[in-house]
Structure formats: structure tokens, C-alpha cells
Chain A
């Protein structure tokens, strides 16, 4: 955009060095934990004097951490399997109805992403407490599904807008019922968007911490809740190992989605 100012070299240098600093600021906290996770020492020395895998062993050898990992993976899978179909149906509805009604539905579905997490968390805690469901997997699951629905909708709505509805009309006029038309025409055509939506829903649940902190407990504590508790008490290098694994997994997931989209 600034090519109209080719001579202003000073401004350009300033802008780009600023840019480099900002990038360093954004990347540093994520990158710094990687070498630490391979440190052999209890202290958080940087760079580590000796390397080892002991913090990874610590993580995989701990019953508490493994239970947290298991809970988080189960929750993420359940969240994605519930949220994506619900979001797909809602998006079809929004796409077909149009007008104010559609806007109202969309607004209602997006509310959970606007309300502060802490409010959802304590409200959900109250509701679940009244039903004696605090600490159950179900309680956290409901909270995660409601957060994942708007995320899935954001992916699916534009995909449906590009979808040619005449295909469904054709299938219907040839005698397919709605379930067949949706399962046989819409789902295969939106495959890639549905995959993105599923991964995003999974990651939303995996990353969610505030609802888990308030609603999950005991055996059903999620990995983020355990990480939070551990961060509050002391800085254990095990967290560095978890953080590294976590970042690698998320990066791989994001890469899959973006590469799939391009091909």
C-alpha cells in the first residue's frame, strides 16, 4: 500500500523493525517453553545446562496428568460429535430461512461467545449444583458444546452460502427424504468445512479452561484445569513438557486443515 512512498526508507526501516519486535513479542512465550521442557534440572534455567526427557516421563508417568489428558480427549471428541451436527442443522436453517428470523437465530447461537467465560462458568455451576451435577462429565460437556456451536457455525455458514441448494431440490424431487438429502448431498459436499468445524470444535473444548475450573472436579478434571492449579501453586517444568506437546498437536491440526483447504 505504501509503494507510493519508495523514497521514505527511514519510515520503512522503522516500520519493519517494529514489525519484527512485535513478532518476537508474539512468538516468544510459546517458543521459550520448548527448550525448557527438555531440561534436566528442576530449576527453570535458560538455556538448560543439560538435557533430558524427565519432564515428559513425569507427565506420562503421572496418574493425575493422564486422567486429565483422558478427560480432555474424551470431552473434546464428545463436544465435536455433538456440536458439529447441531451447528450444521442450525446453519441450514439460518441459510434457508433468511431475513430477520435467521439473524435472530444467529444472534442467539453466538451469545455464548460474547458472554464472559466467568459468567457462563458460575451460572452453569449454579444450575448444575441445583441438579447435583457439579463435577460430572455431563456438566462440562454441556458448557463446551455451547461454546463450540458458534465456532462451528462461523466455519459452516460461509460454506453453506456457497453451496448450490438446487442440488437438494433435485434430490428431493427425485424422492429423497430430508435425512437422505442432507446426509447424501450436503454432508459430502461440505466435507472439508465439516472437517475444519470438527477440529475447531475439538480444539475449543481442549483449550477451554474457565468452565472446567468451576464445573469439573476430581476424576473429571480436564488438562487445562490441572495446568491452572499447578501454575497457581508452583512452576513445575512438567508444564513445559505439556505445553510443548500441546503446541505441536495444535499446529499439526491447523496444518491439516489449511493444507486440506488448499488441495
Chain B
């Protein structure tokens, strides 16, 4: 912005700024109404009895229940498990995509995006069909004689984890692939010409340079998986009970709004903690990069 000497012009600029600010008000109003207010309402509800009086009883009840803590553990197990598998599968996949010719890479990216564009319910249904006792995978396993009995692949933790990895892998892949594609190919060439093996180059050049993408991808995985509902509800078969499922059950089966709200707040706190952890990780990475540039 230029400095405006004329007061009339300055007033004009102020008026224009106010006008532009007002343009975002309708959208902000809707967000306030349908996102901020509901969260505030959850906090309020967590301190109310069914009769509408103030209480901390909901917190005592929920925090002293073993079910809450096992739900918390299940939530973390699902999130960390999904994250670990996404890193193991997604990083080599991103490397393959980044090293492919542009045309091939674009085609493969389209395949990666396809599940992203399919409804979560369609995909969950697909996994049910594949993983059932009489499903395609068990038929292949028993038919080929690899296993004598069909494996329990769905309506349990394994099935839920498979469904969640399938949902998250494309979303994890995107930032990692973007980071790897941005790596200067000359660095890899330099590393190779100085005698580093492929493994050494991946370990010391490619992975450190794509660490930022991996951290972003991990954050995305956490944000999504921490409150996952559909996948555990369908593929868990009632045996996998993370916080999201406990919230639903407390609300619809027990009609206990207060306790459901406390569980919701637990989820919010968990998210905040993870957010702080990732900010710290990103800062650490930024500092390392800065240090490396000056080394």
C-alpha cells in the first residue's frame, strides 16, 4: 500500500477496506452458526444434567469409566496404526511417482485420486465384500491353500485398520509426492556421482528433503483418523470402539447428552495436543533446514 497524504483519499481507502471486510461476513456468520456455536454448545452441555442444571458429574462419570480409557487407547491405536502403515506404503509410492515420467506419473495420480472421489460408504462396502468370511480375499487364500481356514479379516480391528489406511493413503501421499517432486534432481545426481549407493541417497538426500511433506501428511492422517466414525462403525462390527463410536452410543443408545459432550471434549483436547506436537515438529524441521544451509 502506498502512503496516502490526502485525508479524503485515506478515508476512501478505509471505507473500501470496510466494504471488503463486510464481504466475508455472511460466510463467517454461517461458520459461526454451524461450526463454532455447536462446539461451544458441546462445552456447555458437558456441564449440564439431563434436567438442565449445572454439574461436574458428567466429567466424574466419564473420566472414571474404564470404557472411556479403552476408547482413548483404541482411538490412538487406530490413528498410530494407520499413520505407520501410510508412512510405510506411501513413502515408497511417492518415490515411485516422483521418479516416473510426467505422463506416467499423471496417470498413476489419477488412479490414486479415484478412491478419493468415491464415497466413503462405497469404499466401506467394497471392503466388506472383499474381506468377509466368504469374501474374495478369503476365497483366494483358502483356494490357493495358503490358509486352511478363512481368516477373520473384517468386523474387527484388522478390518477397521484396512479401511482407514485405504481412506488415508491418497491424502497422505499428496504432500509427500509434492515434496519429493520439488527435490532438485541435481542433488540426487551429485550424490550418485560421488559414489553414494541408491540406499544411501534415499536415506541421506531424498528422505531428509521430503521430511516436511511427511510431517504434513502425518498431520492430515491424524486430523482425519482421530474422529473417524463410518469405518469403525461398519468394519469394526461393534468390536472396535474408539471415542467417536462411544460418543454415538452414549448419545443414541443411552440418551446421555452430558457424557457424550464430555467425550467430545476429550476428542477436542486430543486434537489440540496433536496440533501442538506437530507445530513443534515443524519448527524443529525448519531449524534443521536453516542450520544445514549454514553448515
What residues of chain A have their CB less than 8 Å away from a CB belonging to chain B? Answer: 1-5, 8, 11, 15-16, 18-19, 22-23, 25-33, 36, 44, 46, 86-87, 89-90, 92-94, 96-97, 101, 105, 108-109, 111-112, 114-120, 122-127, 130, 142-143, 145-146, 149, 178, 203, 206-207, 209-210, 213-214, 224, 227-228, 231-232, 235, 239-240, 242-243, 246-247, 250-251, 254
Contact = CB atoms under 8 A, between A and B. Distances in A.
Given A30-B115, A116-B271, A118-B247, A246 B122 contact: yes
20 contacts: A1-B206, A4-B193, A26-B166, A28-B130, A30-B122, A32-B130, A93-B23, A94-B24, A112-B35, A116-B227, A116-B271, A118-B264, A120-B34, A122-B261, A122-B264, A126-B45, A209-B230, A228-B230, A232-B234, A239-B125
A89 B27 CA distance: 8
Q: Mostly helix, strand, loop or mixed at chain A's interface?
A: helix
Interface in B166-190: 166, 169-170, 180, 183, 185, 188-189
Nearest to B33: A142
A118 B126 contact: no
Contacts of B93: 18-19, 22
A26 B19 contact: no
B117 to A, nearest CB: 5
Contacts of B188: 1-2, 4
Interface string B24-66: 1011101101111111111001000000000000000000000
Interface residues of B, number: 87
A242 to B, nearest CB: 8
Contacts, number: 261
A240 B125 contact: yes
Given A15-B95, A29-B166, A122-B42, A247 B122 contact: yes
Given A22-B93, A146-B34, A228-B121, A122 B126 contact: no
A229 B1 CA distance: 56
Contact of A119 (B31, B39, B130, B257): B39
A18 B96 contact: yes
Interface stretch (B3-11, B106-114, B286-294): B106-114
A108 B134 CA distance: 48
